[in-house]
Structures are given as C-alpha cells and as structure tokens.
Amino acid sequence: MKKIEAIIRKSKYSVVKDALHDVGVNFFSYWDVTGLGNEKEGHVYRGISYSTSDIQRRYLSIVVNDDFEEATIQAILKSAATGDVGDGKIFVSDVSEVYRIRTGEKGGETLR
C-alpha cells in the first residue's frame, strides 16, 4: 500500500477531486494549508498591492493499494497542472498496514 500526499493549488481542487473519482479513488482527506515556496503571490487591498511569500494551497492525503498508485499519481499530475510555478508537489511513501476500526479487519481490503 502507498500513501500519496499532494500539495495543489486550491483553485484546482475540484478538478483533481473529479479526476481521482474517475480512476476509482473515492476516499481521501484534505486540509487547507499555507506554505512558503518559489512562487510569490500578490494581494490587492483597497487599491494597494501587497506581495507575500505565504501561499494558500490544499493538502491531499490518499492511501491506495499498490495497483492504484500509478493511476492516482497520473490523475493528480494531469488535473493539477497549469504549467506555472507553484503547481505543487506529490510525495509517495510506503504504508505497512491499514486497519478498519469498525471491524478490526486489516490489510488492503480495508481500502475498498
């Protein structure tokens, strides 16, 4: 099993969510996060432009069976890309075990 963590633009969230559903990923968690990066965003308040390095993003956490890893990554890559600096990052790590709390069942079947 794999844990796929993605940091994406908030504006691309609904497109990424739909792409994940299309490949069969129907459960994941997400958070609104603020980070620092190479992209600089400007904000305008009452006609005055302010530049900030704090960037608003959405953080996705997805655990999938090994056979869903590549499809999940490709869905995020294709749907989150704009071609501009600041599109985000994807991190992949191994998950040694998963348990379903309700039944105590463990293993990859708990993800289905």
Q: Which of 81, 78, 68, 88 is nearest to 25 (CA)?
A: 68
pTM for this model (two decimals): 0.84
Residues 58, 8 contacting (CB under 8 angstroms): yes
**16-70 tens-digit pLDDT:** 999 999 999 999 999 999 887 766 666 666 777 666 667 889 999 999 999 999 9
Which domains, and CATH codes, for the chain? 2-111 (3.30.70.120)
